[in-house]
Amino acid sequence: MRIDVLTLFPKMFDGFLSESILGKAIDNNLVEIKIINYREFSKSKHKKVDDSPYGGGPGMVLCVEPVYDALMSIKGQEKALKILVTPQGKTFHQEKAYELRDKEHIIILCGHYEGYDERIRDLFDLEVSIGDYVLTGGEIAAMALIDSITRLIPKVINKDESHIFDSFNDYLLEHPHYTRPSEFRGKKVPDVLISGNHKLIKEWRENESIKRTKERRIDLYNKYREEHGDE
Ligand code: SAM
Protein backbone atom coordinates (compact mmCIF):
# COMPACT_ATOMS: atom_id res chain seq x y z
CA MET A 1 0.00 0.00 0.00
CA ARG A 2 1.12 3.52 -0.72
CA ILE A 3 -0.04 6.63 1.17
CA ASP A 4 0.80 10.20 0.15
CA VAL A 5 0.11 12.97 2.66
CA LEU A 6 -0.27 16.59 1.61
CA THR A 7 0.59 18.85 4.53
CA LEU A 8 1.99 22.26 5.44
CA PHE A 9 3.78 20.75 8.48
CA PRO A 10 5.88 17.79 7.27
CA LYS A 11 8.04 17.74 10.41
CA MET A 12 5.01 16.72 12.46
CA PHE A 13 5.28 13.30 10.80
CA ASP A 14 8.97 12.64 11.63
CA GLY A 15 8.56 10.77 14.92
CA PHE A 16 5.26 9.24 13.88
CA LEU A 17 6.76 7.54 10.82
CA SER A 18 9.96 6.34 12.41
CA GLU A 19 8.73 4.79 15.67
CA SER A 20 7.01 1.61 16.76
CA ILE A 21 4.83 -0.58 14.55
CA LEU A 22 4.48 1.98 11.75
CA GLY A 23 8.26 2.51 11.57
CA LYS A 24 8.74 -1.26 11.26
CA ALA A 25 6.00 -1.59 8.64
CA ILE A 26 7.80 1.04 6.53
CA ASP A 27 11.20 -0.63 7.05
CA ASN A 28 9.70 -3.98 6.01
CA ASN A 29 8.16 -2.43 2.86
CA LEU A 30 4.62 -3.30 3.95
CA VAL A 31 3.57 0.31 3.47
CA GLU A 32 5.17 3.24 1.65
CA ILE A 33 4.39 6.70 3.01
CA LYS A 34 5.39 9.95 1.36
CA ILE A 35 4.97 13.37 2.95
CA ILE A 36 4.53 16.28 0.54
CA ASN A 37 4.67 19.91 1.59
CA TYR A 38 2.12 21.58 -0.66
CA ARG A 39 3.49 25.02 0.19
CA GLU A 40 6.23 24.18 -2.28
CA PHE A 41 3.61 24.31 -5.04
CA SER A 42 2.62 27.90 -4.32
CA LYS A 43 3.45 30.22 -7.20
CA SER A 44 3.41 33.34 -5.00
CA LYS A 45 6.62 35.11 -4.05
CA HIS A 46 6.29 34.29 -0.34
CA LYS A 47 4.90 30.79 -0.90
CA LYS A 48 1.47 31.81 0.39
CA VAL A 49 -1.21 29.11 0.25
CA ASP A 50 -4.07 30.98 1.97
CA ASP A 51 -6.11 34.09 1.29
CA SER A 52 -8.96 36.05 2.85
CA PRO A 53 -12.49 34.80 2.21
CA TYR A 54 -14.69 36.30 -0.51
CA GLY A 55 -17.62 37.96 1.26
CA GLY A 56 -15.47 38.82 4.30
CA GLY A 57 -15.40 37.19 7.72
CA PRO A 58 -12.75 35.90 10.13
CA GLY A 59 -9.88 33.56 9.29
CA MET A 60 -8.12 32.59 6.11
CA VAL A 61 -9.09 30.14 3.40
CA LEU A 62 -6.82 27.48 1.85
CA CYS A 63 -6.35 28.22 -1.87
CA VAL A 64 -7.24 25.63 -4.48
CA GLU A 65 -4.27 26.12 -6.86
CA PRO A 66 -1.33 24.82 -4.74
CA VAL A 67 -3.45 21.88 -3.60
CA TYR A 68 -4.38 21.05 -7.20
CA ASP A 69 -0.75 21.32 -8.40
CA ALA A 70 0.54 19.19 -5.50
CA LEU A 71 -2.11 16.57 -6.21
CA MET A 72 -1.27 16.46 -9.92
CA SER A 73 2.44 15.98 -9.11
CA ILE A 74 1.72 12.61 -7.46
CA LYS A 75 2.41 9.69 -9.77
CA GLY A 76 -0.69 7.53 -10.25
CA GLN A 77 -2.97 10.07 -8.51
CA GLU A 78 -5.76 9.48 -11.02
CA LYS A 79 -6.30 5.95 -9.65
CA ALA A 80 -5.71 6.78 -5.96
CA LEU A 81 -8.47 7.25 -3.38
CA LYS A 82 -8.28 10.90 -2.38
CA ILE A 83 -9.31 11.77 1.18
CA LEU A 84 -9.87 15.19 2.67
CA VAL A 85 -9.79 15.37 6.47
CA THR A 86 -12.34 17.77 7.91
CA PRO A 87 -14.65 17.97 10.94
CA GLN A 88 -17.45 18.16 8.35
CA GLY A 89 -16.73 14.67 6.96
CA LYS A 90 -18.25 11.29 7.81
CA THR A 91 -16.98 10.05 11.17
CA PHE A 92 -14.18 7.51 10.80
CA HIS A 93 -14.65 4.04 12.32
CA GLN A 94 -13.04 0.59 12.36
CA GLU A 95 -15.11 -0.77 9.45
CA LYS A 96 -13.84 2.11 7.29
CA ALA A 97 -10.27 1.36 8.40
CA TYR A 98 -10.70 -2.21 7.09
CA GLU A 99 -12.16 -0.88 3.82
CA LEU A 100 -9.24 1.55 3.33
CA ARG A 101 -6.69 -1.14 4.24
CA ASP A 102 -7.59 -2.85 0.94
CA LYS A 103 -6.80 0.19 -1.25
CA GLU A 104 -3.56 0.24 -3.21
CA HIS A 105 -2.97 3.97 -3.06
CA ILE A 106 -4.45 6.66 -0.79
CA ILE A 107 -3.80 10.40 -0.79
CA ILE A 108 -4.71 12.45 2.31
CA LEU A 109 -4.97 16.24 2.37
CA CYS A 110 -4.41 17.93 5.74
CA GLY A 111 -6.16 21.25 5.96
CA HIS A 112 -5.29 24.30 8.01
CA TYR A 113 -6.80 27.78 8.51
CA GLU A 114 -10.52 28.52 8.78
CA GLY A 115 -11.49 26.34 5.87
CA TYR A 116 -10.95 24.95 2.39
CA ASP A 117 -11.84 26.82 -0.78
CA GLU A 118 -14.96 24.86 -1.66
CA ARG A 119 -13.45 23.87 -5.05
CA ILE A 120 -10.82 21.79 -3.22
CA ARG A 121 -13.63 19.48 -2.15
CA ASP A 122 -14.33 18.62 -5.80
CA LEU A 123 -10.82 17.17 -6.16
CA PHE A 124 -11.38 14.56 -3.44
CA ASP A 125 -13.43 11.34 -3.26
CA LEU A 126 -14.08 11.19 0.45
CA GLU A 127 -14.35 13.58 3.42
CA VAL A 128 -13.41 12.07 6.76
CA SER A 129 -13.68 13.40 10.32
CA ILE A 130 -12.03 11.72 13.30
CA GLY A 131 -14.68 13.01 15.74
CA ASP A 132 -16.95 15.84 16.73
CA TYR A 133 -14.28 18.31 17.82
CA VAL A 134 -12.11 20.79 15.96
CA LEU A 135 -8.34 20.38 15.62
CA THR A 136 -5.98 23.15 14.50
CA GLY A 137 -4.91 21.21 11.42
CA GLY A 138 -5.48 17.91 9.66
CA GLU A 139 -2.13 16.28 10.56
CA ILE A 140 -3.34 14.52 13.72
CA ALA A 141 -6.42 13.29 11.84
CA ALA A 142 -4.23 11.97 8.99
CA MET A 143 -1.99 10.18 11.51
CA ALA A 144 -5.03 8.58 13.16
CA LEU A 145 -6.17 7.29 9.76
CA ILE A 146 -2.72 6.04 8.75
CA ASP A 147 -2.10 4.30 12.08
CA SER A 148 -5.47 2.55 12.20
CA ILE A 149 -5.28 1.46 8.54
CA THR A 150 -1.65 0.30 8.58
CA ARG A 151 -1.99 -1.95 11.63
CA LEU A 152 -4.63 -3.94 9.73
CA ILE A 153 -2.28 -4.76 6.83
CA PRO A 154 -1.34 -8.45 7.02
CA LYS A 155 2.04 -9.07 8.74
CA VAL A 156 2.25 -5.52 10.18
CA ILE A 157 1.35 -6.45 13.75
CA ASN A 158 2.43 -10.05 14.22
CA LYS A 159 1.84 -13.60 13.13
CA ASP A 160 -1.27 -14.19 15.21
CA GLU A 161 -3.01 -11.08 13.80
CA SER A 162 -4.10 -9.86 17.24
CA HIS A 163 -6.12 -6.98 15.72
CA ILE A 164 -8.84 -9.55 14.97
CA PHE A 165 -9.62 -9.46 18.71
CA ASP A 166 -9.52 -5.66 19.06
CA SER A 167 -12.54 -3.57 19.99
CA PHE A 168 -15.20 -2.90 17.31
CA ASN A 169 -14.88 -6.25 15.60
CA ASP A 170 -18.42 -7.64 15.46
CA TYR A 171 -19.54 -4.32 17.08
CA LEU A 172 -18.15 -5.32 20.49
CA LEU A 173 -15.62 -3.63 22.77
CA GLU A 174 -12.79 -5.86 23.89
CA HIS A 175 -12.97 -7.81 27.18
CA PRO A 176 -10.87 -6.75 30.23
CA HIS A 177 -7.22 -7.86 30.48
CA TYR A 178 -5.05 -8.75 33.48
CA THR A 179 -1.37 -9.59 33.93
CA ARG A 180 0.95 -10.23 36.91
CA PRO A 181 0.68 -9.77 39.87
CA SER A 182 -2.39 -11.91 40.49
CA GLU A 183 -3.31 -9.63 43.42
CA PHE A 184 -2.68 -5.88 43.69
CA ARG A 185 -3.75 -3.90 46.78
CA GLY A 186 -6.49 -6.41 47.51
CA LYS A 187 -7.77 -6.55 43.93
CA LYS A 188 -7.59 -10.08 42.55
CA VAL A 189 -7.50 -11.37 38.99
CA PRO A 190 -10.78 -13.25 38.28
CA ASP A 191 -10.33 -16.95 39.20
CA VAL A 192 -11.44 -18.14 35.77
CA LEU A 193 -8.41 -16.52 34.09
CA ILE A 194 -5.98 -18.57 36.20
CA SER A 195 -8.06 -21.75 36.00
CA GLY A 196 -6.36 -22.98 32.82
CA ASN A 197 -9.81 -23.94 31.46
CA HIS A 198 -9.74 -22.47 27.94
CA LYS A 199 -13.44 -23.06 27.26
CA LEU A 200 -14.46 -21.18 30.43
CA ILE A 201 -11.94 -18.39 29.74
CA LYS A 202 -13.37 -17.93 26.23
CA GLU A 203 -16.94 -17.81 27.60
CA TRP A 204 -15.95 -15.33 30.32
CA ARG A 205 -14.24 -13.06 27.78
CA GLU A 206 -17.23 -13.13 25.43
CA ASN A 207 -19.66 -12.32 28.25
CA GLU A 208 -17.45 -9.50 29.60
CA SER A 209 -17.13 -8.07 26.10
CA ILE A 210 -20.91 -8.00 25.66
CA LYS A 211 -21.44 -6.58 29.20
CA ARG A 212 -18.84 -3.85 28.68
CA THR A 213 -20.31 -2.85 25.31
CA LYS A 214 -23.83 -2.68 26.79
CA GLU A 215 -22.61 -0.46 29.66
CA ARG A 216 -20.41 1.85 27.60
CA ARG A 217 -21.72 1.88 24.03
CA ILE A 218 -25.42 1.07 23.81
CA ASP A 219 -25.35 2.08 20.12
CA LEU A 220 -22.84 -0.68 19.31
CA TYR A 221 -24.58 -3.16 21.61
CA ASN A 222 -27.87 -2.62 19.74
CA LYS A 223 -26.11 -3.29 16.41
CA TYR A 224 -24.59 -6.46 17.86
CA ARG A 225 -28.04 -7.61 19.01
CA GLU A 226 -29.55 -6.86 15.59
CA GLU A 227 -26.89 -9.07 14.03
CA HIS A 228 -27.01 -11.92 16.56
CA GLY A 229 -30.51 -11.78 18.04
CA ASP A 230 -30.98 -12.77 21.72
CA GLU A 231 -28.85 -15.90 21.56
N1 SAM B 1 -13.57 26.01 10.31
C2 SAM B 1 -13.53 24.60 10.00
C3 SAM B 1 -14.89 23.98 10.25
O4 SAM B 1 -15.62 24.48 11.10
O5 SAM B 1 -15.21 22.96 9.61
C6 SAM B 1 -12.47 23.92 10.85
C7 SAM B 1 -11.08 24.18 10.38
S8 SAM B 1 -9.85 23.43 11.39
C9 SAM B 1 -9.35 24.75 12.43
C10 SAM B 1 -8.50 23.25 10.32
C11 SAM B 1 -8.27 21.89 9.70
O12 SAM B 1 -8.07 20.91 10.71
C13 SAM B 1 -9.41 21.32 8.87
O14 SAM B 1 -9.38 21.85 7.57
C15 SAM B 1 -9.11 19.84 8.88
O16 SAM B 1 -8.14 19.49 7.93
C17 SAM B 1 -8.52 19.64 10.26
N18 SAM B 1 -9.49 19.12 11.24
C19 SAM B 1 -9.98 19.79 12.31
N20 SAM B 1 -10.82 19.02 13.01
C21 SAM B 1 -10.88 17.83 12.39
C22 SAM B 1 -11.59 16.62 12.64
N23 SAM B 1 -12.42 16.49 13.67
N24 SAM B 1 -11.42 15.58 11.79
C25 SAM B 1 -10.59 15.70 10.74
N26 SAM B 1 -9.89 16.83 10.44
C27 SAM B 1 -10.03 17.88 11.26
For residue 114, the ligand 1 atom closest to its alpha carbon is 1
Quick one: pLDDT at residue 218? 98
Quick one: pLDDT at residue 158? 74
150 alpha carbon – ligand 1 mean position (Å): 23
Residue to substitute in 96, 134, 146 for testing ligand 1 pocket (most ligand atoms within 8 angstroms of CB): 134
pTM listed for this prediction: 0.94
99 alpha carbon – ligand 1 mean position (Å): 23
Q: Spell out the domain ranges in the chain.
A: 2-150, 167-228
Question: Which tens digit of pLDDT belongs to each residue from 133-187?
Answer: 999 999 999 999 999 999 999 999 975 666 777 888 889 999 999 999 999 999 9
Averaged pLDDT for residues 205-212 = 97
87 is catalytic: yes
128 alpha carbon – ligand 1 mean position (Å): 10
* Euclidean distance between the first and the last CA atom of the chain, given in angstroms as a whole number: 39
Looking at the domain that runs over 2-150, which CATH code has it been given? 3.40.1280.10
> In 92-142, which ranges are E strands?
105-109, 115-116, 126-129
> Is pLDDT of 96 > 90?
yes
Quick one: pLDDT at residue 160? 61
Q: How far is residue 67's CA from residue 42's CA, in Å, rounded to a whole number?
A: 9
Q: What is the pLDDT of the chain when averaged over all its residues?
A: 95
Q: How far is residue 25's CA from residue 29's CA, in Å, rounded to a whole number?
A: 6
Pick the CATH number of 167-228 from 1.10.1040.50, 3.30.420.40, 3.20.20.190, 1.10.1270.20: 1.10.1270.20
Greatest alpha-carbon span in the chain: 71
Quick one: pLDDT at residue 231? 59
- For the chain, what percent of residues have pLDDT higher than 90? 93
Residues with CB under 6 A from ligand 1: 85-88, 110-112, 114-115, 129-131, 133-138, 141
Quick one: pLDDT at residue 161? 63
The one-letter code for the residue type at 10 is P
114 is catalytic: yes
> Are 170 and 227 contacting, i.e. CB atoms less than 8 angstroms apart?
yes
